[in-house]
Amino acid sequence: MRKPETIERLYLDFDGFFASVMQQAMPALRGRPVGVIPFETDKAKYTVVIACSKEAKAKGIPNVIAVPEAKKLCPDLVLVTQRPDLFRRAHNALLNEISCEIPIDTVKSIDELTCRLGPKDMADPEGLAARLKKRIAANVGPHITCSIGFAANRMLAKIACKIDKPNGVTIWRPQDMPSPLLPLPFEDIPGIGARLERRLNRAGIWTVEHLLKTQPKQLRALWGNVNGERMWYGLHGYDVQAQPTHRGMYGHSRVLPPEARKLHQCRGFARLLLTKAARRMRRDRYYSNKLWLWLDLREGGWFGQRELPCVNDDQAILSGLGALWNEAADELPKRHEIVRVGVTLTEIVPADGRQLDMFLNDDRDRQKWERITFSIDALNRKFGKRVVSVGPWTPPPGGYAGGKIAYTRIPSAEDFW
């Protein structure tokens, strides 16, 4: 495995992305501590802050915290309702500006990305960082800032990126390593959570310095898979390439406001979420063999699954949901309060790998519903909005079902129809 002798990677993380986009779009929010919430402000006391601004973080407010607790930490916190489509458009505008300066290698999430450096930028990372920040401020807005890390590989660049937030630039050259890593807590190392930290402690590994003194096979055994070995090589500055990932499911979920948590209300929300998930699946040319419905209750939860005959049309998938919902209605007392509803299409296969048994392959009703579903998709794409749906379309309070605030998945314009 190759070990670079100079910096080769840039990692960029936008500071308080969701709140800073709101501040850029709404001048009244600028310079104030802002908390982004999922529902309208008259329901704020029942919900949580799902993202906050640099000013709010400076007062000790984390990204996810109940509104009453956030208000205790910062009484002047301004609550604003999420605008997922605005976040999507800001994300695309920012990528366009960055790609004018340097090709983007991988978009890691809606607010993080990584780039490979060319010879010119390896020699002058400070100049590249200054150009990126200047271009973003001039062409998108000065209230959206970013922190940038430079290192030999992507893992180290990501860790470096978090060192001088907000709006910082950190450069870790190979000859300087591993000194900058030694004082960091395990929580600053991507891939080490609380459970894994306890496992490391039981093995006598209490600090990053201890971690660096291990051997690759030792970390592989502690992790229980190859990711531990990859972690060792990444921390030691080797050029570790990310493994390709494969799509495993399509799904959506939604936390519901207090006035919409009865079983009879949630069925329409579940239909809408499932329709949007199936539409995404068709767009990517996949079919599903299993459907899951899960309900988070005030006390406990309920989930059920149903086999599907390798389908992606709305009629077949919604029929499966109907059967699952009837099971839930039979098993759950009507007084139960549903806090969150979710649907997931699993055991997916690509279109070119689809296999049907002889009887399904000749089922004229199935073929008819597939043609109807594809015609509905074509009409909605033609007009750039939802003009036709199978059955009722019942958006949950707060809107943005299927296009909610996202970190690892970037919504497309169609997710908001």
List domains and CATH numbers for the chain: 1-177 (3.30.70.270), 178-245 (1.10.150.20), 250-416 (3.30.1490.100)
Model pLDDT, residue 364: 83
Residue (of 272, 279, 277) closest to 399 by Cα position: 272
Please tell me whether residue 200 adopts helix, strand or coil conformation. helix
Under 8 Å between Cβ of 15 and 145: yes
**Sign of the CA dihedral running 112, 140, 405, 345:** negative
d(CA 191, CA 198): 13
pLDDT tens series, the chain, 417 aa = 799 999 999 999 999 999 999 999 999 999 999 999 887 756 556 688 989 999 999 999 988 899 999 999 999 999 998 888 899 999 999 999 999 999 999 999 999 999 999 999 999 999 999 999 999 999 999 999 999 999 999 999 999 999 999 999 999 999 999 999 999 999 999 989 999 999 999 999 999 999 999 999 999 999 999 999 999 999 999 998 877 777 889 999 988 887 888 888 899 999 999 999 999 999 999 999 999 999 999 888 899 999 999 999 999 999 999 999 999 988 887 677 898 999 999 999 999 888 877 666 677 888 899 999 999 999 998 888 888 999 888 887 777 776 666 666 777 878 877
CB-CB neighbours of 375 under 10 Å: 11
| Helix (H) or strand (E) run with residue 42 in it | none
Under 8 Å between Cβ of 91 and 136: no
User: What's CA 211's distance to the chain center, in Å?
Assistant: 29
Question: Measuring CA to CA, how many Å separate 260 from each of 111, 125, 370?
Answer: 31, 52, 32
Model pLDDT, residue 404: 65
Model pLDDT, residue 337: 86
Contacts by residues 120-124 (CB-CB < 8 Å, ≥ 24 positions apart)? 121/10, 122/6, 122/7, 122/8
